[in-house]
Structure 1
Amino acid sequence: MELHVKDRLYFPQLLPQQNTFMEYAMKRAILKKVGLTAEDQEKFEIKEKEDGKGIVWNIEKDMAQPHAVEFTPDELEYIKKGCEALAEQPCPDDFWALVERIYNTIPKK
């Protein structure tokens, strides 16, 4: 799955906030895969806005160099669980577009 900076910023919101210990470990592994590193911050020129209300980055570089990540079937089920818990909450369209891409990644049974 290819993720852009905005997707990677949204990802922590997708995951359940209460977990068993095993789910907590899986959540940490997922966040490690998708998290933004110091190198990403430099490469994509990620900065906080001067007014402190939001983040900006170089969108051209982001679109040209998406972050490729592979999730295990268990991780995808865990992510799906988090998405389903949010289904009734209002969120921006691009957030739901990420959820849709995740669902399209899950193998059909």
Structure 2
Amino acid sequence: MTHMPNAVGMACEIAVLRALELAGKRGRNSSRANRELLDMPPHEQHTRMYLARTAEECDRLLAGSWDHLRIVLPDSERIITAVDWYVRQLIVTRQRHQRHELYAVLAVACEPA
């Protein structure tokens, strides 16, 4: 993460974890969750069940997820868009969050336009 202050990366990572948590809880509420899902952290539940099969299907799961990030990083819509894309890809592909992958996405988002 050479092109970005550490505080921005940390704020984005917290937002990613919160968005995945919300998606896991919302997905669990709309499907019959088995015992295994109830015993795992909500921010990882998307790795065990399909919450959405397309990025567009994530809209309901992620509603309101970026509100606080917009407060912390005003005028950073490019970063927020990148973080949103990253989380949607995690949900659709059922992959775990990886800090280095998020930071790679953020490095591209922070490049001059």
Greater percentage in strand:
1
Structure in which a larger fraction of residues adopt helix = 2
TM-score of the superposed pair, with normalisation by structure 2: 0.32
The TM-score with structure 1 as length reference comes to: 0.32
